Structure formats: C-alpha cells, structure tokens
Amino acid sequence: HTDAHRSIFISATSLTHRTTAILCVSSREGPSDSHVYFSTRKGCLIGAVNLKSSNRTPVVQEFESVELSCIITDSQTSDPRIEWKKIQDDQTTYVFFDNKIQGDLAGRAEILGKTSLKIWNVTRRDSALYRCEVVARNDRKEIDEIVIELTVQVKPVTPVCRVPKAVPVGKMATLYCQESEGHPRPHYSWYRNDVPLPTDSRANPRFRNSSFHLNSETGTLVFTAVHKDDSGQYYCIASNDAGSARCEEQEMEVYDLNIGGIIGGVLVVLAVLALITLGICCAYRRGYFINNKQDGESYKNPGKPDGVNYIRTDEEGDFRHKSSFVI
C-alpha cells in the first residue's frame, strides 16, 4: 500500500475445484482509474501497464530544449512498444514510430529512458499536444497512453505604433499598436508621459477629463472626443509570459479649432474670387478679348451669279454687261 499505488486483495475458495482465486484491484488515482482482474497464481500480480508523467504541461522558451516525461510504472512486459504522436490543428502525425524519430522532429529529438521524449531547439511550431502510447503484450491491460501539452513561448518584438500628430479638440482619435511575433499572443498597454493608461478612462478619476477606451487584445486606443489634457508623448508595450517590448515615443498634439479664423479665411477667398470675376467682365466689355487683326483674306469680291459675266472698261470706270446678259 502506497500513495501512488493501492492494491486490495480478496481471496475466495471455490467449493467445486478447490482452487484459490485472487481478485486484484489496481488503482493509481481513484476508482475511475481502477483495473480489476482475477489471478489464480499465488499473490496478486500487476497485470496492467500504467504510465505517468512528471510534468503534463511543460512550458519552454523558443530555441531551448525540453523533455516530455512519459514513465512506465507498472508492466509485466520487458520490451513494450513505444509510440509518440503529435496532435495539432485537429491532425495527428507520428513523432516516434518503428523505433525512430519521424517528421519535422527528425534530427532534433531522441527517446530518453525508454519512453520519454527530448526535443532540442524547439520552435513555436512545436507547440501542440503529444501523446505517449505504450503497448505491453504480456500484460492483461495491454495499452496505456498519456497526453502532454507543450507550450513554446516567444518573446514579442518591437511593436509598430501609429499615433496621430495633431487632432482638433472634440474630434475622435485612434492610436494603433501591433506585434506579430510573440507567442502566446501578447497583451498591449499604452502610456502617456510615462503614466500607464487604464482600459477605460471612466474607471479612474485621474483621467476624468478624457474619454478613451483601450483594447488590450488588439492594441487600439480610441478617444471618442479628445481634450487638451490628452496632448503628450505616447508609447505602447506588448508583453506575454516570455517577455515584453515597447515602441518609441510619439507626440500627439491637441489644438483648439479657431472658428472665427476659418470664417474669415473663407470670406477673404470669396472676396478675391469676386474681384477676379469683376475684372474679367470689365476687360471683356472693353474689347480686350476681341481679335482685331486683319489679313489678306478679310475682304473678298462679291460673288458672281451663275450665267453673268462682268467686263470692266477703262473709259467707263465701271462694269458693263456683255450682250449675253439675260434678265
């Protein structure tokens, strides 16, 4: 009797055959994991293969090494068959099969202590579920398996931040912060003048003059209506369990909108357009836009009707009709 393994022995004598049957109940964690079987041998033998792991949820940084622990605690088979499988995106592939490493882990993984799996130079693509399966042919319960969830963490890189340079008072403004390398996905936080901003300005009396909302999952900071107090130096930090990274400070200026100046400017533009139009009209009336040039083709002799010939004599100085002229 131990904390890890409990056995209950019940003996009974068969009145007919005079043989002794031993009922063995083997349990690792509780009644749901119990294995019940009969044995006619003397004593109670462990007739079921059982596995355990020292760490079912290992977490490791990218490019480090990790050991996926799979240990046989009970078995009567001296040379059981060992298999490792990777479960990722609803797909199952072999990692260790037929006594050799398979797939993308070939060349950077090995089996330790008969059943455990060690991986070198892990990458973010190695984050998955790994199933250790053992088949012991000489045991009454021949198959057992254990699932290990491996998480590979990646430190965020410098996020890309976008901050508007100038925004008029009362207008909407959106600040963006994005990072694509961190794993698990990082959370975002914004700072103004080195002061961390809450997710909602209404939740902190210190920011009662502001009206903004921060989405820590997407990194967007949205001002529904900026105030003069919102001017300052802004930067964002992306962080996860592996580390954090920040972008450079960027200034956002909030300025007053001069309504009187805008109206005055519009009136000046309209006045200039009116003067230009008036000048064009006056120039047109005075004939500056009429073409006064005369060329050799400006004067033309009157056209001659068909069937009429004109002859000019020196004495008359005028035209006279030929005899063939017909009225």
What is the per-residue pLDDT across 134-143, written as a single tens digit (0 to 9) for each? 999 888 888 9
| CATH number where 214 lies | 2.60.40.10
Split into its structural domains, the chain has a count of 2
What tens digit of pLDDT does each residue of 265-309 get? 787 888 888 888 888 888 777 777 665 554 444 444 555 555 555
For β-strands 160-162 and 143-153, DSSP reports them as unpaired
* Residues 144 and 183 reside in one and the same domain: no
- Does one domain contain both 170 and 96? no
- Is residue 59 located within the same domain as residue 108? yes
Residue 195 covered by a domain: yes
Residues 88 and 164 in one domain: no
Q: In this structure, are 130 and 169 located in the same domain?
A: no
Structural domain contains residue 29: no
Report if residue 16 sits inside a domain. Answer: no
pTM for the whole structure: 0.58
Both 174 and 141 in one domain: the answer is: no
177 and 119 co-located in one domain:
no
174 in any annotated domain = yes
* Same domain flag for 209 and 171: yes
User: Residue 21 in contact with residue 37, Cβ under 8 Å?
Assistant: no
Residue after which a domain boundary falls, among 153, 169, 189:
153
Task: Classify 122 as helix, strand or coil.
Answer: coil
Task: Say if 78 falls within a structural domain.
Answer: yes
pLDDT in tens, 216-243: 999 999 999 999 999 999 999 999 999 9
Q: Which domain covers residue 146, as residue numbers?
A: 49-153
CA angle 79, 80, 86 (to 5 degrees): 135
Q: Which of 226, 255, 284 is the last residue of a domain?
A: 255
Conformational region of residue 114, where left means phi above 0, alpha means psi within -120 to 50, and beta covers everything else: left
b/e per residue 277-296 (b: at least 16 CB within 10 A): eeeeeeeeeeeeeeeeeeee
Domain-ending residue, one of 153, 175, 196: 153
Query: What pLDDT is stored for residue 282 in this prediction?
Result: 82
**Which has the minimum average pLDDT: 95-99, 127-131, 255-259?**
255-259
Same domain, 189 and 102: no
Which of 46-50, 117-121, 292-296 ranks highest by mean pLDDT?
117-121
Kindly state whether residue 318 falls inside one of the protein's structural domains: no
Q: Please tell me the distance from the alpha carbon of residue 49 to that of residue 170, in angstroms, as a whole number.
A: 71
Domain contains 264? no
95 in a structural domain? yes
| Same domain, yes or no: 130 and 68 | yes
Does residue 166 share a domain with residue 88? no
Looking at the structure, tell me whether residues 164 and 138 fall in a common domain: no
pLDDT for the residue numbered 13? 34
